[in-house]
């Protein structure tokens, strides 16, 4: 399965897609990037006159690249209509991410068993500084039952 095929299966619309490019994916993890363009709607109110990317958006970006893209890859041979949904996370936020910044997310599979995927994830800025890191878990869900 190619990175382009994985991106085509992501269940997000353009306004909530936080993956520009999937650089690498295999049985053990995924790596991709995203640029937080200055015109994204959440910057208007977070924070007035000094916009910063909300932590929930940073977490979502790590989940989309590090958990969902990896999950799609791991499920490539499953003959069911299922996807991965985030169930828990524990993230440490170390540096702010500002409008216009490009980040790279790297995940490492901790385990995938009993329909649960757990990954160690980190996000780095273009200078290679870790801006946030932690663990994210997700469960297989049937797309029919949402």
Query: For the chain, which residues make up each domain, given as ranges?
Result: 3-142
Question: Tens-of-pLDDT digits for all 146 residues of the chain?
Answer: 899 999 999 989 999 999 999 999 999 999 999 999 999 999 988 888 899 999 999 999 999 999 999 999 998 887 667 778 889 999 999 999 999 999 999 999 999 998 899 999 999 999 999 999 999 999 977 666 54
Query: Please, are residues 29 and 119 in contact by the beta-carbon 8 Å criterion?
Result: yes
CATH of domain 3-142: 3.10.129.10
In whole angstroms, how far apart are CA 45 and each of 34, 40, 101, 134?
Answer: 21, 11, 18, 26
pTM, full prediction? 0.93
Residues classed as catalytic:
46
């Amino acid at each position: 399965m190619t990175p382009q095929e994985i991106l085509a299966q992501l269940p997000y619309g353009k306004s909530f897609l936080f993956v520009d490019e999937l650089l690498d994916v295999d049985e053990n993890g995924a790596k991709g990037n995203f640029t937080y363009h200055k015109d994204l709607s959440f910057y208007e109110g977070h924070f007035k006159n000094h916009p910063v990317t909300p932590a929930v958006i940073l977490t979502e970006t790590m989940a989309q690249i590090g958990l969902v893209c990896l999950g799609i890859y791991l499920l490539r041979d499953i003959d069911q209509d299922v996807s991965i949904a985030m169930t828990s996370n524990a993230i440490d936020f170390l540096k702010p991410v500002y409008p216009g910044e490009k980040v790279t997310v790297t995940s490492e599979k901790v385990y995938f068993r009993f329909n649960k995927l757990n990954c160690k994830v980190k996000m780095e800025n273009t200078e290679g500084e870790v801006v946030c890191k932690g663990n994210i878990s997700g469960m297989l869900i049937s797309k029919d039952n949402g």
